[in-house]
Structure 1
Amino acid sequence: MTEPSRLELLRFARRVIVQQAAASLAQVDGWIAAEEEREAAQRRAEERRPKPAWLIERGIGVGSPPMQVHRGGCRMAQGVRVQAITEDQARRALYEHVGACEFCNPDTALRVIPE
C-alpha cells in the first residue's frame, strides 16, 4: 500500500473540518433554539402575570423615601425601585405629599387633590 499524497491528506483534513464545523453549527443552532424558547416562555409568563393597579417608586438607596406614585401600566415606572401597592396605599401616599407621576396622573384617577 502506498502512502497517501500530500493533496489526499489535505482533502481528508478538509472533510474532517467540514464535519466538525457542521456538528458545531448544529450544536449552536440547538442552543439558539433553546434560548428562543426560554425567552418566549418568559414573555408568555410575563403577559399572564396580573399587572398591579398602583405602583410606588422609591429613591436610590436602601430605605429611601417614596418619590412618586404611578398607575400600574405606566411606562415611566420601570425598574427595581418600583413596587406594587394597594389603592389605599396609593391614596395615602398622595395625601402624604408623595409626588404623582405627570405621565399617568394617578392623583386624577384616584380623585386625590393633595393639600
Structure 2
Amino acid sequence: MTDESPSRLELLHFARRVVIQQAKAALAQLDRWIAEEQRREAERRRGEEMRPPAPEWLIERGLDKKNLVAVHAGGCWKVTKSGRCVGLSRAQALDALRQHVPACSQCRPDTALGFLE
C-alpha cells in the first residue's frame, strides 16, 4: 500500500496558488471600487460645472405664491430651502423694492442695490 497523500512541498505550492488566486480576485475588486469612485467623482464635478450660478437676488413668496414676502441678496442665510424663493435680476429686485416688497432685514438688499426710498 503506497502513501498517495501530497507531499509537504506540493501542499505549499497549492497554498501559494490559492493565495495568488485570492489576491488577484481582491485586486480586481479594489480596481472595480476605484473605477466606480472615479466615475462618481467625475459625475459630481460635471454636475458642479453644469450647475447654473446662484442668483444674485431672490424674492421670497408666501404660501399662496401671490404674496411677496421679502427681497433677499442671493447668499442670505435667512432664505430657507422651502422652494418659495425665485431668482431675480438686479432690475427685477429694484422693481420689487419700488413696489414696496420689504427688503430682508438681515442681508439688506436695498442697501446693496443702492435703493433709497
Normalization by structure 1: what TM-score?
A: 0.63
Matched with 1:65 is: 67
Matched-pair identity in %: 29
Q: Helix, strand or coil for the counterpart of 2:35?
A: helix
Matched with 1:34 is: 39
Contact in 2 for aligned 1:94/1:112 (Cα 8 Å): no
Matched with 2:26 is: 21
Number of aligned residue pairs: give it: 108
Q: CA deviation at 1:105?
A: 1.4
**AA paired with 2:61?**
R
Q: CA deviation at 1:102?
A: 2.9
Per-residue CA deviation, residues 64-99 of structure 1 (Å, 9 max, x unaligned), is: 733321233x24246333211244542343345433
Contact in 2 for aligned 1:57/1:83 (Cα 8 Å): yes
Please identify runs of 4+ aligned residues in structure 1 that moved more than 6 A.
none
Q: List gaps (5 residues or longer) in structure 2.
A: none
Quote the Cα distance in structure 2 between the aligned partners of 1:71 and 1:87: 10
Matches within 5 A, 1:1-115: 10-46=15-51, 49-59=52-62, 61=63, 63=65, 65-72=67-74, 74-76=75-77, 77=79, 79=81, 80-108=83-111, 109-113=113-117
Q: CA deviation at 1:62?
A: 6.4
Q: Helix, strand or coil for the counterpart of 1:69?
A: strand
Normalization by structure 2: what TM-score?
A: 0.62
Per-residue CA deviation, residues 33-77 of structure 1 (Å, 9 max, x unaligned), is: 11212222222333xx45534211234x563733321233x2424
Quote the Cα distance in structure 2 between the aligned partners of 1:75 and 1:8: 68
